Structure 1
Amino acid sequence: MAEPGEAVPSGRPRRTDAARNARALLTAARELFDERGPDVALDEVARRAGVGNATLYRHFPTRSELIVAVYADEVETLCQKGAALIDAESAADALFAWLDDFVVHVATKRALASAGTEHSDERRSVLFDQWHRSMRDTAQELLVRAQRSGDVNVGLTVDDVLALTNATAIAATGAQDARRLLRIMRHGFAGTQASPDETP
């Protein structure tokens, strides 16, 4: 029997096949969760991914593990978008382009994150801390660059920015409304030497 990574009769490494199947399952699950929510039947996920149920359960033994994997992949994609923006010509535009993605993420993915951790407060705390740290680090890098360019208030902290953007997403009626509110909020972030705590 071939060991993992060795060639099998088809000439393809098993590890490559497994990675491709896992990616197909994540893509299918993301699409179906977006369409119908995280309670969609798992055999539908397997069918859309083009694999058998046994392959699905080998990669993701429980619905919770599949949901967590999909949400973690969403967070990674969001952070990769931030990394791609860090060298953009306009630091302020880069920050708000990422915040636009972030506010849509919060407005549309909160239920998914909660569904994957609903039965374990300890697991939820660990995972939420990990996800929040990744997004916070991305926002921090973009914010600092925008502040150094003089386009964003130097008194703002990354926690201010994320708290306000989160609140916008929660208060909005949907993703498009969240993006509209973020555009309004951008004017309040405009560059100034005054601290947000200072009163006129």
Structure 2
Amino acid sequence: MSRADAAELRADAARNREALLQAATRTFAASATEPSMRAVAREAGVGIATLYRHFPTREALVAAVYQNQVERLTRQAGELLRRLAPSEALRAWMDLFGEWIMTKHGMVDTLRSMINSGEIAHTETRDELLAAVTGILDAGRAAGDLRSDVAADDIAAALIGIFTVTAGQSERTGRLLDLLVDGLRPRNLEG
């Protein structure tokens, strides 16, 4: 096999893995219960053997999707700050967080089992997400765009509450997220 052929095989494998991650994310988000591995492969447009070659177990797939989403959330916090005011970046990040919450619907049982067994370090994930929120809050404080008395833990608790109470009610979710961000803006002490 030539170097070019080997490189093409590696590129093809990387494309298949990415397609599988994206398909699994969509499938998990759309499912009320855990979908079959066959459903994920079908959504990705690959055979079941290709899925198992990349992710030999359901747990391996769930861990990869979970980590991919956490990395996306942490990366997006910085990207949003580069193009939006901090309060707008925080609001946009909240929508991404909601998408992440939805992704977990179809993998919640496996995920819970993996967290309980220590296969997924929940505290590390939590720390990564809190660091992303802290970065946005710090930028907002520096710009005078967000209050200085709010911690990332406060935001996380509020988001969990909002997404838990409004599951499946996107209009209401958006309205409550807007209210949360409005409450995070500095108060006008003069008026």
Question: TM range, normalised to the smaller chain?
Answer: 0.7 to 0.9
Cα pair 1:104 1:175 within 8 Å, conserved = no
Matches within 5 A, 1:89-104: 89-104=84-99
Given candidates 3, 7, 24, the residue that maps to 2:4 is 7
2:160 is the alignment partner of 1:166:
yes
**Equivalent residues in 2 for 1:81-96 (5 A)?**
81-96=76-91
State the shift of 1:81 in Å.
1.9
Code of the aligned partner of 1:109? T
Give the superposition deviation at 1:24.
Answer: 1.4
Deviations 1:50-86 (A, max 9, x none): 3322221111111122122122222222222212112
Amino acid at match of 2:89: A
1:186 maps to 181
1:109-161 residue CA offsets vs partner (Å, 9 max, x unmatched): 3434633333341325x432232222111111111111111121111111112
Matches within 5 A, 1:33-52: 33-37=28-32, 39-52=34-47
Larger RCO of the pair (alpha carbons < 8 Å, separation 6+): 2
The one-letter amino acid paired with 1:130 is: E
CA distance in structure 2 between the partners assigned to 1:45 and 1:64 by the alignment: 13
Shift of 1:12: 4.2
Quick check: 29-38 or 13-22, which moved more?
29-38
CA distance in structure 1 between the partners assigned to 2:32 and 2:51 by the alignment: 18
Write the distance in 1 (CA, Å) between the matches of 2:112 and 2:181. Answer: 34
* Separation (CA, whole Å) in 2 of partners of 1:56 and 1:110: 19
- State the match for 1:64 in structure 2: 59
Separation in 2, partners of 1:109, 1:164: 19
Q: Let me know the Cα RMSD of the aligned residues.
A: 2.6
Tell me the number of residue pairs that the alignment of Structure 1 and Structure 2 aligns.
187
Instruction: Provide, for residues 79-121 of structure 1, a one-character-per-residue CA deviation record: whole Å limited to 9, x for no partner.
Output: 2221211223522212222123224433x23434633333341
TM-score (norm 2): 0.83
Runs of at least 4 residues of structure 1 off by over 4 A?
none
Alpha-carbon distance between aligned partners in 2 of 1:150 and 1:117, rounded to the nearest angstrom: 39
1:54 paired residue among 33, 49, 56? 49
User: Quick one: structure 1 residues 38 and 133, their matched pair in 2 at CA, closer, same or farther if it must change by over 3 Å?
Assistant: farther
CA contact (8 A) 1:46 1:56 kept: yes
Stretches of structure 1 that go unaligned for 5 or more consecutive residues are 195-200
TM-score (norm 1): 0.79
Matched residue type, 1:54: A
User: What amino acid maps onto 1:46 in structure 2?
Assistant: A
Find the counterpart in structure 2 of residue 147 from structure 1. Answer: 141
Gap runs ≥5 in structure 2: none
8 Å CA contact 1:152–1:192 kept in 2: the answer is: no
